[in-house]
Structure 1
Amino acid sequence: MKCFVRFYFAVVIIATMSSGLLGCGKSNSSGGGSRQASGTEKAAQENALAEIKKRWVKQSEGWITTRDSGSSFAPIRFLRQCRELTVEGVRENDLSEADRMNGFEWAGEIRFKETPCREAGDSGLLLDGLTGTSIFRQRGRWTQWVDFTPEPLKIQKVKGQWQIPQDTWLLRGQLPRAEDFANAGVK
């Protein structure tokens, strides 16, 4: 009988703990991958994508930008193409009291999904050597496609204005022109 009481007591404890855990399935916390973005996060994403569209143009095979990674004395011009520029998520940074006193309303980053990328134009390492491969671009043809994850875009809203640092991987280029395609030797 003692065994049965202990067993019954253990079952009751486990059942109670299980029901408590089942109630924890939903959370009001901001963590989790499936939650809906807040209005501010949506605005951050829209502002980031608008900034990208000032430098990248969507064509049939993907998004293209023109880069110039050389100096004014020795320019290295090339085209960079990404199959897609898709937002993976928005991460909000915590703001301190000092941040808020300085006018910060929101700060965070926009993360992008991995995408195939390639380049054509003046000689140089594909994707600035960030892929871990030694693929060289050349004039007259596109490099092979490689999978690449663009770096996140930092973004902040200060005193009602959205601010995005311009010296980032996605924002260093310019909209391509006909002469950029001619220089790269591709269509």
Structure 2
Amino acid sequence: MTERMSFTIRRALLLPLGFLLLVQLALLVVSLLQGQPTGKILFVGGVVVLLAGLLADNLLRRIELDEEGITVCRIGRRRRMLFADLTEVEAVCLRKRLFVTLWVGESFLLVTNAYGGVAALFESLLQRIPSGLVSDEVKGLVEAPPCHNGNIIVCWFAVVFSLLILCQQFLAGS
């Protein structure tokens, strides 16, 4: 009997996303205190709201595997598929992003390599999927999943860029 396993979005993405939200919040506060134009305040406020939603979604997103099936949990949504009901399994790798699609008739779940412990996730997934549904091509892609860091790098650049804007805001305000 295999235990229930849970996988969440990689901390390497959540950390810079959290920092970016904090820097944008600081920029919003500084803009309000300095009496910046309403358009700028609304823009930064909109960015804060979007970042807060994105961070909340990524913090709460998870995949749960148990003996019978897979459950993908997101804010307000929970989808479950039983391994016995699977009709097809596909995988594609695009620019170091691995997408594994699990099909039950016309319905599908998409599992990506954005989760922490992705190698264990895909290994456990392959062990639970009925034999015959996983082609050698899918096995080859899943057994050595690539590590995609593009979003993480972009997020860190956004943090640095936002910090520069915040510093400039302080200098302009004094």
TM range (shorter): under 0.3
Point out the structure with the larger helix share: 2
Larger Rg: 1
Point out the structure with the larger strand share: 1
Structure showing greater relative contact order (alpha-carbon pairs closer than 8 Å, 6 or more residues apart)? 2
